[in-house]
Structure 1
């Protein structure tokens, strides 16, 4: 009789362990954005292809500042009245989406 009660207790205990609530794991992701370092350059140091792209793509705008990084990509800050825009181009004048 003792063996019957003991085996019943073990079986019921085993079933109750499986009925427990499973642990929920929360994953935390962090996004790191690495910006290319741009250094300011004079307006006359910008290639003609970059200037013509800015003039054709954004007519009636004024070039405020120009920056260049190690990959020969240009960051142009242009303005039209009270609106300001930032445009990224490569050395050939192709617009880069960032």
Structure 2
């Protein structure tokens, strides 16, 4: 078994990324629906409308932040593989 510290938690293929993002979206949707049902059941219609406003705002913020997260992960992967800084007029080399 591979130790947790050595596991790669990010997918390596486009299909893997689609599955990864789909699973996250499904989990988020399940949590939002469950919380919405609890808010409606215990606090009523007005609290549910306020919950919807906050949930929509959070979903928009998460959607905008997804691009930043994907670019960060791609950059980190390139740096770890040594690909970053190896093209263009100036090339950075690793220590010998």
Give the TM interval when normalised to the shorter protein: under 0.3
Higher strand fraction (1 or 2): 1
Name which one, 1 or 2, has greater alpha-carbon Rg. Answer: 1
Higher relative contact order (CA 8 A, sep 6+): 1
Please report the TM-score for the alignment, with normalisation by the length of structure 2: 0.21
